[in-house]
Amino acid sequence: MGTLDGAPDAPTGLARIVLGTSESIAGTVYGTIVVMSAIALGAEGTRDTWRLASIVAATVIVLWFAHVYSHGLGEAIGRGRQLDRAEFTAVARREFAIPMAAVAPICALFLGGFELVEERTAVWIALGIGFATLVAVGFRYAALERLDMRGTMKGVALNVAIGVVLIALEVAVAH
């Protein structure tokens, strides 16, 4: 089995940032689910897309810092020594997929803030970007596994379903 980057449809350029690499795909999926949860939770309490964008950004940044800290700590303990600057920077870069997952949805929320679209539409566009990301990641995994069309559709549906369930659980717990 190869890496996601070894798959025939490995992303390049901007797609690498948006969809992740073999090293960052976990952060892309995690960040996408966090962003969608923050949007779903925040959209219930405000109609102000500027405020919602700031809620999403703050949530993602805090969780990114937590991931960098916890993974850095884990690697230091695993190595039996403090990480040097280059090693810690490598951890931060790998986990940077988490806040990167928020960029496009936040830009969609800005559309509502600038009144280019209705605020409700901006929220749906932002959520749609999240769903599209989960679908794209599902297709990447299916390509890696060389699944047929039926297996691909099952894999994509499962990836999206897991994301939706996690978002629904987050919203349910918050209420």
The pLDDT tens digits for 91-142 are 999 899 999 999 999 999 999 999 999 999 999 999 999 999 999 988 988 8
Tokens 């405000």: give the residue: 46
In one letter, which amino acid is 30? Y
SS3 of 63, please?
A: helix
Q: What is the pLDDT of residue 170?
A: 82
Do 48 and 109 contact (CB within 8 A), yes or no?
A: no
Summarize the confidence of residues 71-92 as an average pLDDT. Answer: 96
Tell me how far apart the alpha carbons of residues 12 and 21 are, in angstroms, rounded to a whole number.
9
- Which residue, 122, 126, 128, 131, is CA-closest to 104? 126
The answer on pLDDT for 163 being more than 60 is: yes
Within 10 angstroms of residue 38's Cβ, the number of other Cβ atoms is: 24
Query: CB under 8 Å to 141, separation ≥6 — which residues?
Result: 4, 155, 159
Per-residue pLDDT tens over the stretch 47-66? 799 999 999 999 999 999 99
Within 10 angstroms of residue 31's Cβ, the number of other Cβ atoms is: 28
Q: What is the pLDDT of residue 47?
A: 77
Confidence of residue 174 (pLDDT cuts 50, 70, 90): confident
The answer on pLDDT for 6 being more than 60 is: no
Q: What is the pLDDT of residue 17?
A: 62
Within 10 angstroms of residue 143's Cβ, the number of other Cβ atoms is: 16
Summarize the confidence of residues 165-170 as an average pLDDT. Answer: 88
Confidence of residue 2 (pLDDT cuts 50, 70, 90): very low
Q: Give the burial string for 107-136 (b: 16+ CB within 10 Å, else e).
A: ebbebbbeeebebeebbbbbbebbeebbeb
> Which tokens is 11 given?
């992303």
